[in-house]
Amino acid sequence: MLGQATVPLVGIADTVVIGRTGDAAALAGVALGTTIINFVFWTFGFLRMGMTGMTAQAKGAGDEAEVRAMLVRGLLLGTLIGVLLFALQIAIIPAAFAVLAGGEALDAAARGYVSARFFGAPAGLAVYALVGWFLGLGRTRAALVLQVAMNCINIVADIAFVWHFGMGAAGVGYGTAIAEWSALVIGSGIALSVLGPGALSAIRAQGRALIDREALRRLFAVNADIMIRTIALLATFAWFANAGARLGTVPLAANHVLMQFVSVSAFVLDGFAFTAESRIGIAIGKRSRPDFLRAFRLTGEFTAIAGLCFALGIWLAGPSLIAVITDNAQVRAAAGALLVWTALVPLIGAPAWLFDGIFIGATRGRALRNAALAATALYIGTDLLMRPWGATGVWIALLASYVWRALALGAYLPGLTRSIAESPRRA
């Protein structure tokens, strides 16, 4: 949970640094740019999610060679995809702004932020793989150290570029890119220490086994479904951001402020989901149904309690936190009017986040894909129906999206449970 709590601090630091300038257009530009970057980068979120489940299953099966191989494959794949994205940004950026609603000032700020973030793409995607590998091994402390280091560097760079050099939204993007490259170096060092003495020699000795055809086929098969699932969910948040942009600069900026609360609660509650990923993956590697059921029960209980606590915390502390994030009076007022709906997200969204963890740990990519596609289609339909309600309807539709996702994944849960063979637990 501590490790996950630091993840959204990158976005929060970006928002606070630019929000304290009082420039609503710049804040909205970062909001729009973040939507684009999240969509592009998290399209390859399987580098984190697929790595966790497959690494945990290799650990549960006692296959140390495969654990090492998963690290190398993840780092290589993340870096290569990142380099490709950097090269293709000349086409990606114009296409993204052609789809999302904005305005001249808004688009200018967002373009500066997005262009800067692409410099960090190779490192950012490789870090996804590193974090997934750490979580698969249950090395949450290593993930915590990595996230804290990245956030500290990001905050210092943001302050320098925006407040000292006056670089605006672009400065925020460059600060985050620098933090991502720093995290890759730090994370690689931590990974080698986790593997222990002789890790590099052991990796070299594996040679061609690192790129074993069957292992790569399974990696891409699982990750292709997770990739489609991720794109579907990113489409939900892109639609949400575009719905805010359609209402104007101030509503978009207000939604971005409120989404920082959603981001913190989602990432912290994902700490339980990530625990489920690791424990579920290990249970399946052992072929132990009792371990599977125990992991599901314990993470479910803690997730429900934490979701309620976050809902109460956002409702009670929200007005003060909004005032800290932005100086703009209009944005503060708009965000305050929608706070009650934001407070409901961690409570209503908790089951969906937990189910994600369970199915990612089980590497059930097809179930994740189908559930996400169904939930996204239902969300868009709900949003269209709620448009007469304005900004309130936008948030009600978002809440409904979590319900659709939980119901869709829940339909697959009995089959997953039955598929785990009963067998004696192995040490």
Please indicate, yes or no, if residue 366 is contained in any of the structural domains.
yes
Mean pLDDT, residues 48-54: 78
* Distance from C-alpha of 382 to C-alpha of 387, rounded to nearest angstrom: 9
- Classified as helix, coil or strand, 340 is helix
* Distance from C-alpha of 231 to C-alpha of 320, rounded to nearest angstrom: 34
pLDDT at residue 397 greater than cutoff 60: yes
Read off the pLDDT band of 86 (50, 70, 90).
Answer: very high
Instruction: Please check whether residue 269 is in contact with residue 346, taking contact to mean a CB–CB distance below 8 angstroms.
Output: yes
pTM of the model: 0.68
* Distance from C-alpha of 294 to C-alpha of 122, rounded to nearest angstrom: 38
Enter the tokens of residue 209.
Answer: 């086994």
Range of the domain at 136: 2-419
Please indicate, yes or no, if residue 72 is contained in any of the structural domains.
yes
Please indicate, yes or no, if residue 274 is contained in any of the structural domains.
yes
Please indicate, yes or no, if residue 424 is contained in any of the structural domains.
no
* Distance from C-alpha of 347 to C-alpha of 75, rounded to nearest angstrom: 35
- Hey, CA dihedral for 23, 25, 26, 31, is it positive or negative? positive
Mean pLDDT, residues 229-233: 85
Mean pLDDT, residues 53-59: 81
pLDDT at residue 201 greater than cutoff 80: no
* Distance from C-alpha of 365 to C-alpha of 184, rounded to nearest angstrom: 27
* Residues 6 or more apart whose Cβ sits within 8 Å of residue 300: 354
Share of the chain above pLDDT 70, in %: 88
Mean pLDDT, residues 291-309: 89
How confident is the model at residue 7, as a pLDDT? Answer: 61
Instruction: List pLDDT tens digits, range 129-165.
Output: 998 899 888 888 888 889 889 888 988 898 888 888 8
Please indicate, yes or no, if residue 162 is contained in any of the structural domains.
yes
How confident is the model at residue 383, as a pLDDT? Answer: 93
How confident is the model at residue 426, as a pLDDT? Answer: 39
Most confident of 145-159, 163-177, 231-245, 383-397: 383-397
Please indicate, yes or no, if residue 427 is contained in any of the structural domains.
no
Structural domain count, the chain: 1
Please indicate, yes or no, if residue 235 is contained in any of the structural domains.
yes
More confident site: 161 or 110: 161
* Residues 6 or more apart whose Cβ sits within 8 Å of residue 116: 170, 171, 172, 173, 174, 176, 177
pLDDT at residue 190 greater than cutoff 90: yes
* Residues 6 or more apart whose Cβ sits within 8 Å of residue 183: 123, 127, 146, 149, 150, 153
62: left (phi over 0), alpha (psi -120 to 50) or beta: left
More confident site: 11 or 82: 82
Enter the tokens of residue 424.
Answer: 């004696």
Instruction: Please check whether residue 326 is in contact with residue 253, taking contact to mean a CB–CB distance below 8 angstroms.
Output: yes
Read off the pLDDT band of 88 (50, 70, 90).
Answer: very high
How confident is the model at residue 231, as a pLDDT? Answer: 85
In 294-307, which positions are buried (b, 16+ CB within 10 angstroms) versus exposed (e)? ebbeebbebbbebb
In 266-276, which positions are buried (b, 16+ CB within 10 angstroms) versus exposed (e)? bbbbbbbbbbb
Mean pLDDT, residues 40-65: 80
Enter the tokens of residue 411.
Answer: 């339909």
Please indicate, yes or no, if residue 425 is contained in any of the structural domains.
no
